[in-house]
Amino acid sequence: MIIIGEKINSTLKAVRPAIAKRDADAIQSLAKRQADAGAAFIDVNAGMFHDAEPETIAWLVETVQAATDKPFSVDSPNPAAIAAALAVNKNGAPIINSITDEKARYNAILPLALEYNAKVIALCMDDTGMPENADGRFTIAARLIDKLTKAGIALPDIFIDPLVRPVSTGSHYGKAAIDTIRRVKAEYPDVHIACGLSNVSFGLPARKLINQTFLVAAMAAGMDGAILDPLDTKLTSLIWASEALLGLDEYCLEYLDKYREGLIEV
Ligand code: THG
């Protein structure tokens, strides 16, 4: 499972003031703790800073890179902010989070991915909006994969985001995401998935339970990447257990390793 740690996000009430104050210690602690918990990428989002988003996100990237070797995922629809983050990259290949099949956004962001050799999260949406069901989402995913590979982006550098919307706002949204994952992985086994897992539980009590249950169902359908909270040790325990149960962890070595490190919570 490719874990993209979601905690360095300006929409989080506890994190936004730390970014505003340029509190490097607080940001670096979040980066380190997420990396230690298993995050392969550290998502950074400065969207709440509006006009100052490019300079703020560049500061976040530099601050995170002083604390960890993990590459970042730049979480923004804004080409200027994405460019500012990519320009200060020093770690491995980062992820652009995200591109869509909206004409203007696609055309602005694709050149940045090519220039900086970045991976991309591709959302299943286009100028007609976000399809309600898996059929419509898969059609867009297939079109994006076709266009991105023809432009020179390798299949494993593409992460399809099936769109995780709150089940509290539509009872079909959990299934729509899971069916999209299953179809994308069946047709394109080399492409990765990146779900915004925590979205599924907005508006419900005991959100962690909903996130944890969705995680297991989505992994059974082939989800191999997600933007999630790696500091939720119950959630990460479910990742290691699911990998062992789904044939993704030979001899359960990873699971045993995590257990020995004290990282398995029952
Ligand atoms: N797809 C892609 N990128 C994404 C998302 C996605 N980036 C943003 C988001 N969705 C994923 N990141 C988060 C980060 C935090 C929370 C949810 C998703 C979260 N916040 C709590 C809340 O809003 O209630 C806590 C708030 C707080 O502490 O202030 O759960 O889908 N590609």
C-beta of residue 14 within 8 angstroms of C-beta of residue 51: no
Task: Say yes or no: CB of residue 164 within 6 Å of ligand 1.
Answer: yes
pLDDT at 221: 98
Task: Say yes or no: CB of residue 98 within 6 Å of ligand 1.
Answer: yes
pLDDT at 96: 99
| Residues 185 and 243 reside in one and the same domain | no
| Residues 111 and 223 reside in one and the same domain | yes
Task: Say yes or no: CB of residue 196 within 6 Å of ligand 1.
Answer: yes
φ, ψ of residue 67 to 5 degrees: the values are -110, -25
Query: Ligand 1 centre and the CA of 9: distance in Å?
Result: 8
What is the count of structural domains for the chain? Answer: 2
Query: Ligand 1 centre and the CA of 150: distance in Å?
Result: 31
Task: Say yes or no: CB of residue 121 within 6 Å of ligand 1.
Answer: yes
Residue type for position 140: I
CATH code of the domain containing 208? 3.20.20.20
Task: Say yes or no: CB of residue 97 within 6 Å of ligand 1.
Answer: yes
Provide the residue range defining the domain that includes 249: 232-266
| Residues 109 and 127 reside in one and the same domain | yes
Flag whether the pTM goes above 0.95.
yes
- Name the residue at shortest CA distance from atom 26 of ligand 1: 12
| Residues 125 and 70 reside in one and the same domain | yes
Residues 6+ apart with CB under 8 A from 101: 122, 125, 126, 127, 140, 143, 144, 147
The low-confidence residues of the chain, meaning pLDDT below 50, are none
Which residues share a beta bridge with 227? 4, 196
Task: Say yes or no: CB of residue 12 within 6 Å of ligand 1.
Answer: yes
| Residues 103 and 206 reside in one and the same domain | yes
| Residues 183 and 251 reside in one and the same domain | no
φ, ψ of residue 23 to 5 degrees: the values are -80, 90
| Residues 26 and 155 reside in one and the same domain | yes
Task: Say yes or no: CB of residue 13 within 6 Å of ligand 1.
Answer: yes
- CA pair distance 57, 112, nearest whole angstrom: 16
- Name the residue at shortest CA distance from atom 14 of ligand 1: 6
Encode burial over 202-225: b for 16+ CB neighbours within 10 A, e otherwise: eeeeeeeebbbebbbebbebbbbb
pLDDT digits (tens, 9 = 90+) for 141-184: 999 999 999 999 999 999 999 999 999 999 999 999 999 999 99
| Residues 218 and 126 reside in one and the same domain | yes
Nearest CA to 217 among 265, 167, 175? 175
| Residues 61 and 157 reside in one and the same domain | yes
| Residues 39 and 88 reside in one and the same domain | yes
